[in-house]
Each structure stands twice: as structure tokens, then as C-alpha cells.
Amino acid sequence: MLQALAAETRGASHKLLFFFEDYVLDTARRELRRGSERLLIEPQVFDLLAFLVKNRERVVSKDDLLAAVWGGRIVSESTLASRINAARRVIGDTGEQQRLIRTIIGKGVRFVGEAHERQDFDQSASRLGSRWSCCPLPISPVIRSWSIWPMASPTT
């Protein structure tokens, strides 16, 4: 599912941004920001956090996480717990607080923070658009004819 989301945003002229607390999760650039600061985040931790935020309306099972983040490979419970804790740490959460990422015992994990998503135009596409927006085109084209041949004077 995450691969599909990544593939969908890779070739598109827009990107999907998730806003929660003072964080911005940019799925196209694979960046997590707090304010203007870009946070360091491991690729698997990013994938896990993105999957949880994208599926915030439901509890995500261990099998869902394994399929989305590890491509269906079997990983140990300690590896899974380690990545969940790393995701919590990078967004200022803890296993005790569970303010944003909550463990539902026997069921899975859920992102419980208030998040908003927005599609935003890609920087390269918006730069191209703004570059030409300063030069509006006329509604009807003006056609000028320049002759390279000397005009014959009418004979009288």
C-alpha cells in the first residue's frame, strides 16, 4: 500500500502533506519537519509513521505493518517494537504517554493525534507556473506580418 502511495506521488505534480501538532509529514519528499527544521528519520520509521498517519481512522494490525513497511517479510517483535518506539521518539511521544501513537493491546497500533492532509503542488511545477504567470497571454493573438521581400510599389 505504501509503495502504491509512493509510486502515485512520485510522478504526480502534487504531493501529499500531513499536518499534526507542529509537524509536517511530506510523503513525496519523504521528509518530516517540525516548524522549519527537517528531522532525521530512518526510512523504515518514516514508512511506519506515514502508514499510521494515512490509516489514522483505524487500528493497524501487526500484519498490516509487516505488509506495508517490511514487504511481508517476517520480523521479530523486538524489531517492530523498536521501530514503533523510534516513530514515537521522532514526534515527541513516548510509550508511556501514547499521545499520538497508541498501542491497543491484542489489536495493533493507531495514530490518534489530530491530523489534516492536504495536496500541494510540487515545487518544480509551481515554479514553472509562476515563471509564466507574469506574462499573461492575450485573449486573441496578435498577428504581425513581416515581409522579408521588398514590397512592390504599385504601378500607375
pTM beyond 0.85, yes or no: no
Question: What average pLDDT does the segment 27-41 reach?
Answer: 95
Domains of the chain and any CATH numbers: 2-121 (1.10.10.10)
* Position 1 pLDDT exceeds 80: no
Given a cut of 90, whether residue 64 has pLDDT beyond it is yes
Range name among 48-52, 67-71, 110-114, 137-141 with the lowest pLDDT average? 137-141
* Cα–Cα distance for residue pair 24/144, rounded to 1 Å: 51
Question: CA separation (Å) from 153 to 123, 144, 146, 150?
Answer: 56, 21, 17, 9
Using the predicted structure, report yes or no on whether residue 135 has a pLDDT greater than 50: no
Average pLDDT of the segment spanning 27-34: 95
Mean of pLDDT values over 38-49: 96
Quick check: 153 pLDDT over 70? no
Separation between Cα atoms, residue 145 and residue 105, nearest integer Å: 78
53 CB-near residues (< 8 Å, 6+ apart): 18, 20, 25, 111, 115
pLDDT of residue 16: 86
**What's the confidence (pLDDT) of residue 9?**
38
